[in-house]
Chain A
Amino acid sequence: KQEVTQIPAALSVPEGENLVLNCSFTDSAIYNLQWFRQDPGKGLTSLLLIQSSQREQTSGRLNASLDKSSGRSTLYIAASQPGDSATYLCAVLTGANSKLTFGKGITLSVRP
């Protein structure tokens, strides 16, 4: 059974800092990995999707990497801003019929 772990559960950083959010998964036979952002009381917004054949994806100040063999992904946020404060969830797509397994998320707070 696929398990996704995100540690730590919460993180507080000063504005302007570059930071890395980690995600690990137990079954390396994945189709893709997605990073989502969730604001309080809101739904999930997809940030980046990395296919299993890819090593990384970039969107603006965000860069996500994938190392399938070691079961790890990182989300790099450059020059963090208070508007980046949210919960970031990692999810992996495994098996037939495309089931996503989610981590519990990392709640990020960027202090002005």
Chain B
Amino acid sequence: NAGVTQTPKFRILKIGQSMTLQCAQDMNHNYMYWYRQDPGMGLKLIYYSVGAGITDKGEVPNGYNVSRSTTEDFPLRLELAAPSQTSVYFCASSYSRDRGLGTDTQYFGPGTRLTVL
């Protein structure tokens, strides 16, 4: 198993540009997540999904959009990039037997380092 994969690893955007961060998992996990990590600030949840076709906002969703058309893929879309979106983005996945009652371990991808200039 490849686990959780993310592309690209690095990207530099100009203000106002758009891009999609790709995330895929091959563990048949139902839950998937997007986090951002800023220096000294810990990880904050952007969006999450409890299954294909179902997504919901996390703590810091503004400026981002997601979709979940398949179990495996959970892309994150940045529209009109701003310097405040400079961060490291992590995708994660986990499995829950009983929705809403907690899940097993979250597995993280290697991250995408994004700079907006």
Contacts and interface: CB of A to CB of B under 8 A. Distances in A.
Q: Do A and B come from one complex?
A: yes
Interface of A: 4, 9, 31-32, 34, 36, 42-46, 49, 51-52, 89, 91, 93, 96-100, 102-105
Interface of B: 4, 31, 33, 40-45, 48, 50, 56, 58, 90, 92, 94, 96, 99-111
B106 A46 contact: yes
Contact of A89 (B40, B42, B58): B42
A39 B48 CA distance: 24
Contact of B106 (A31, A34, A105): A34
Nearest to A31: B102
Contacts of A104: 40-42
Contact of A46 (B31, B40, B107): B107
B27 to A, nearest CB: 13
B100 A96 contact: yes
A97 B108 CA distance: 18
Nearest to A9: B40
- The 3 A-B pairs of least Cβ separation, nearest first, read A31-B102, A96-B100, A44-B108
A96 B102 CA distance: 8
Which among A36, A43, A51, A103 has the highest number of chain B CB atoms within 10 Å? Answer: A43
Contacts of A44: 43, 90, 92, 108
